[in-house]
A and B are shown apart, each in its own frame.
Chain A
Amino acid sequence: MTRCAASFESKTGWKHLPHDADVGVQGWGTTVAQAFEQAAHALTAVVTHAKVKAQLSVQVRCEAPDLELLFVEWLNAVIYEMAVRKMLFGRFAVRIDDGWLEGTLWGEPVDVARHAPACEPKGATYTALRVAKSPDGIWSAACIVDV
């Protein structure tokens, strides 16, 4: 089943990109921040297809010299919070300003019975890494995540 939250014609959404051993995540939106938020939804969907409740919020902050490296930093920040707090996140708010990203993640502790987590993202990679704006003004952010 191709998991995606919207068809590519829609202005915001995410999908998984096939990769032999790992999985690609792609998010898109009318701003780069929205593309990053959507890609984080794709990251959560690597782990679970169940609904994730927005019970708790976590703040993250990261920095990188360009948007593509910032995207990897962002996904890695989400992966880190998932791993250390044993949480899943279902809502994201991103603000990008001058090479800095501030993000808020809303989620809940992993409930193994309800979320039935399939696998664990280990880290975002620079493979198939691309953050770009299409001619019709839609931003897209994608890379392969090691699982």
Chain B
Amino acid sequence: MDLARFTEVDPTTWRIEPREAMRVPAIIYADENLIRDMDDKVFEQAANVATLPGIVQASYAMPDAHWGYGFPIGGVAAFDPDHGGIVSAGGVGFDISCGVRTMLTGLKVADIIPVQKSLADSLFRQIPAGVGSKGTITLDTIDMDAMLSGGARWAVERGWGDRRDLERIEEEGTMVGAKPDHVSERAKERQRREMGTLGSGNHYLEVQAVAEIFDAAVARAFGLALDDVVVTGSRGLGHQIGTEFLKEMVVIAQASGIELPDRELACAPINSEVGQRYLGAMRAAINCALANREILGQYARRVFAHFFPNCDLRLLFDVSHNTCKVEPHAVDGKRRRLFVHRKGATRAFGPGHESLPAALRSVGQPVLIGGSMGTGSYILVGETSSERKAFSSACHGAGRALSRHAALKQWSGRKVIDDLAAQGILIRSPSTRGVAEEAPGAYKDVAAVVAAAERAGLARSVARLRPLICTKG
């Protein structure tokens, strides 16, 4: 992007001044290189979000932002229901509550190396991944509604989880206000046989080693030490809910007199029948994602227990990326109840936040940043300054630098697998083409994204993780 289009507030804060229908400015947090490399569409989409009714303060984009649909991926925006604020299905996206969790194994790299290959094979075999994979759980009507209401707590009660995990999951594992009745039969049908599956594309499960520690005190509070091995993975759901409400909201937005610069920004007033119905369904989809990640975590525990009978995988934290959540935030000195949309962004509460479990309250929320297959991941911690900067939000990954199309032109999946194996990283996937599309070079430099997030005051680096095993759908 052309930097001349922005007001440079500081080296990591770039403001698009309000123009035409924009109600507030748009702010992109990134360093000069990242913002230069961003697609012009990020500018356009962040500016479009700023036109929506009831938006508070600014439309934000995180350092990993890229061209999405409607909102940019990496977009954050908060709306006030008392000022005509809206809720947008496009602002949450299709992969509702897609997220990441990190589990601490208590093992060292030296424990993994002798069994690395068979552990990789076992994780790949035991945890269904990819298109056409089948889970072993089928939900009947009663279980479906119980799952959509109960989230990870439901999974634990059904024996697919560990009660200790719940306090380490956003919303303590259960999103309140979920309305299974507002989820269509078609959406439920789409989920009936998908529990305990990893999904495909950028969904993954990795065994990683702590390679570097930047903040020893917080790392200690998180239970991270050098050479420790952790398991990280992502998965989400809600495609059908997104599809259906997007369609409905295009009509409602028009009927409510909301001018949409892009149909994908389809939205409804929060205080409207459709808005409330969407929130009920979207919260049910959040529960579905929380339940699914709890089940996947339990599957990972079983596989590890086979190799390491005394190993006890403890959940560090579980974060969600595509959500709209009601949160109190200070705006101009006043506490306001806002509907915060995060699309491809992580909630990042700083120290002292009331929703954090006692063990983490004094340090802040773990912010888990999945990198690409080869480059590893980062663990950050929420900063108090992030509330003022972007309603307590941070980036969610490296963000794609190249389209799947371009990645496929540039890399062979087989070669990517061989090159990573030579570096000690084992990849397991049903599709070499899928591996090529997710090649490390197709993503931005995750270190640069994390550094920009840190400099912008969104979150602070705690540790860098390097992958040992990656299974992906």
Q: How many residues of A contact B (CB 8 A)?
A: 44
A109 touching B132 in the complex, CB below 8 Å, given contacts A19-B67, A20-B39: yes
A119 touching B434 in the complex, CB below 8 Å, given contacts A20-B403, A127-B264: yes
Q: Is A69 an interface residue (CB 8 A)?
A: yes
Q: Is there contact, CB below 8 Å, between A123 and B403?
A: no
State which of A47, A120, A125 has its C-beta within 8 Å of the C-beta of B199.
Answer: A120
Q: Is there contact, CB below 8 Å, between B405 and A2?
A: yes
Q: Is there contact, CB below 8 Å, between A126 and B263?
A: yes
In the bound assembly, the distance between CA atoms of A86 and B194 in angstroms comes to 11
Q: Is there contact, CB below 8 Å, between B189 and A84?
A: yes
Encode B417-438 as 1/0 by CB contact (under 8 A) with A: 0000000000000111110010
In the bound assembly, the distance between CA atoms of A146 and B344 in angstroms comes to 13
How far, in Å, is B237 (CB) from chain A's closest CB?
Answer: 9
How far, in Å, is A137 (CB) from chain B's closest CB?
Answer: 27
Q: Is B104 an interface residue (CB 8 A)?
A: no
Encode B131-166 as 1/0 by CB contact (under 8 A) with A: 111100000000000000000000000000000000
B67 / chain A contacts, CB cutoff of 8 Å: 19-21
Residue of B nearest to A23 (CB): B404
Residue of B nearest to A87 (CB): B132
In chain A, positions 24-55 with a C-beta closer than 8 Å to chain B are 47, 49
The stretch of B242-250, B325-333, B348-356, B375-383 in contact with A is B242-250
State which of B132, B405, B409 has its C-beta within 8 Å of the C-beta of A115.
Answer: B132
Q: Is there contact, CB below 8 Å, between B134 and A86?
A: yes
How far, in Å, is A44 (CB) from chain B's closest CB?
Answer: 11
Q: Is there contact, CB below 8 Å, between A127 and B70?
A: yes
In the bound assembly, the distance between CA atoms of A86 and B264 in angstroms comes to 27
In the bound assembly, the distance between CA atoms of A118 and B429 in angstroms comes to 9
Q: Is B228 an interface residue (CB 8 A)?
A: no
Residue of A nearest to B236 (CB): A122
How far, in Å, is A51 (CB) from chain B's closest CB?
Answer: 15
Q: Is there contact, CB below 8 Å, between B200 and A1?
A: no
In the bound assembly, the distance between CA atoms of A17 and B67 in angstroms comes to 14
In the bound assembly, the distance between CA atoms of A112 and B433 in angstroms comes to 13
Contacts from B to A (Cβ < 8 Å): 39, 41, 66-70, 73, 90, 93-95, 130-134, 186, 189-190, 199-201, 239-240, 242-243, 246-247, 250, 262-264, 266, 400, 402-406, 408-409, 430-434, 437, 473
Shortest 6 CB-CB distances between A and B: which pairs? A110-B132, A117-B131, A127-B69, A119-B201, A126-B263, A18-B403
Sample 6 A-B pairs with CB under 8 A, ordered by A number.
A20-B66, A112-B430, A119-B131, A124-B243, A126-B262, A147-B201
